[in-house]
A and B are shown apart, each in its own frame.
Chain A
Amino acid sequence: MKNLIKVERAKKNWTQEYLANKIGVSRQSMNAIEAGKFIPSTLLALKMAKVFGTSVESIFQLEKSDTLL
């Protein structure tokens, strides 16, 4: 799964720390999520979508490797 957090952050000109504070995680955790090392819960994904003013699908997208059964 890929995410476009960095792109959305750049649009708003927000730092990782600012976004992390807005959704209630540490900056290091925010970095892990943005780098794709950790897939956030639905709750955190929804919080992120809300602060960006967009949908979850526009931030998190499935890749070809995430095959459906």
Chain B
Amino acid sequence: MKINKKQINKLILFASILWAACYLIALNVIKEYTLSNEIKVLLSILPTITFGILIYFYITSINLMDEVEKRIHLEAAVFAFSTGLALIMTIGIVDTAFDLNKEIFGTKKIFIYLFILYFIGVALSKNKYLFKK
């Protein structure tokens, strides 16, 4: 079955909601309840599986893009990866020096910054190719 851009965007939205729901549920259940180690491991893996589904749909959507759109997402990924590395490195050093608030800069939250950096990268690249005069 051949899938079109509209359909894949809907699937990405659905997979994003599914993953976010799984992540929040797993995080809160692990935090709030006393569970056996086996259940904890299962709950920890659950968001990874749904995130894998999201990545699969995302890669499928990349294959449907034209070359300008592919370049935009490639540049966004490069931007997010390099600035993300710099961010993690800086947080690590600053945390050693000042013991940062784990609720803001802990490993449970840091991936959110990477998402934000990716979207900043998309915006910058779109501005370069599609909007800038």
A: which residues have CB within 8 A of B? 24-26, 28-29, 31-33, 37-38, 40-41, 44
Contacts and interface: CB of A to CB of B under 8 A. Distances in A.
Q: Which of A25, A29, A40, A41 has the most CB of B within 10 A?
A: A29
Chain B contact residues: helix, strand, loop or mixed: helix
Contacts, number: 29
A12 to B, nearest CB: 21
Interface residues of B, number: 9
B66 A25 contact: yes
A67 B30 CA distance: 62
A18 B128 CA distance: 23
B132 interface: yes
B67 A26 contact: no
Interface string B54-67: 00000000000011
Nearest to A25: B66
Q: Which of A33, A38, A40 has the most CB of B within 10 A?
A: A38
A29 B69 CA distance: 7
Given A33-B68, A37-B128, 18 more contacts: A24-B66, A25-B66, A25-B67, A25-B68, A26-B66, A28-B130, A29-B66, A29-B67, A29-B130, A31-B130, A32-B68, A32-B129, A32-B130, A37-B129, A38-B67, A38-B68, A38-B71, A41-B67
Contacts of A26: 66, 68-69
